[in-house]
Structure 1
Amino acid sequence: MPKLNFRLDEPLHAALMRRAHGANLSLSGFIRKVLEQAVDERKSYVFSSQDEILATSIQILSIVATSVGQQSPKALEQGMAQARMILAERGLLGGEDAL
């Protein structure tokens, strides 16, 4: 199997690592899938279904958070704190103030 070596700037590397982690793939496995898609015009974007699920989940959670916040601001605050902790554990926050 041929081997490729190339350099990435730090922000691109970090973004690729997050996407690979989110797809439950190694960085090499993620990049291989993206490259396979890039050379096969018949394939759709490799992770589009996950992106669609994520977008729908964000919309639903936004509606729920709005409703909870109107009924109990303290419950919303506790839920957001717990969400930050879970996201941080998984390396899914861009910074400490991301949420």
Structure 2
Amino acid sequence: MPKINFRLDGSLHTVLMRRARGANLSMSSLIRHLLQQAVDERRRYVFSSQDEILATSIQILSILATSVGQQSPKALEQGMAQARTILAERGLLGGEDGQ
């Protein structure tokens, strides 16, 4: 297998590392998938099944949060705070300060 070496700026490297960790892939594996996507004639998104799982998870969690919020607003508030902490630790919140 041929080997390619190249340099990335720090911010791009950080984003790619977050995405690789989020997809449970090595950096090399993520970049190989991204390159495959770039040359895919059908221009489909390589991780489409991940998006479908994410969309379903968001729908389920939205329904659950609505139910918990109606029964116990305090429990919902605590759960949301914990979720924000976990997402921030993994670099999954928007903005530079994680907000």
Query: TM-score with structure 1 length normalisation?
Result: 0.75
CA RMSD in angstroms, aligned pairs only: 2.3
Maintained 8 Å contact 2:20/2:30: yes
Which runs of 5 or more structure 2 residues have no equivalent in the other structure?
none
Q: CA deviation at 1:57?
A: 0.7
Q: 2:85 maps to which residue?
A: 85
Alignment of 1:26-45 (within 5 A): 26-41=26-41, 44-45=44-45
Aligned residue type for 2:17: M
SS in 1 for 2:66: helix
Alignment of 1:13-92 (within 5 A): 13-41=13-41, 44-92=44-92
Q: Distance in 2 between matches of 1:3 and 1:54?
A: 32
Q: Distance in 2 between matches of 1:56 and 1:14?
A: 27
Q: CA deviation at 1:51?
A: 0.9
Q: Distance in 2 between matches of 1:36 and 1:85?
A: 34
1:5 aligns with 2:6: yes
Aligned residue type for 1:46: V
Q: CA deviation at 1:53?
A: 0.5
Q: Percent identity over the alignment?
A: 73
Higher relative contact order (CA 8 A, sep 6+): 2
Q: CA deviation at 1:7?
A: 4.0
Number of paired residues? 96
Which runs of 5 or more structure 1 residues have no equivalent in the other structure?
none
Aligned residue type for 2:63: I
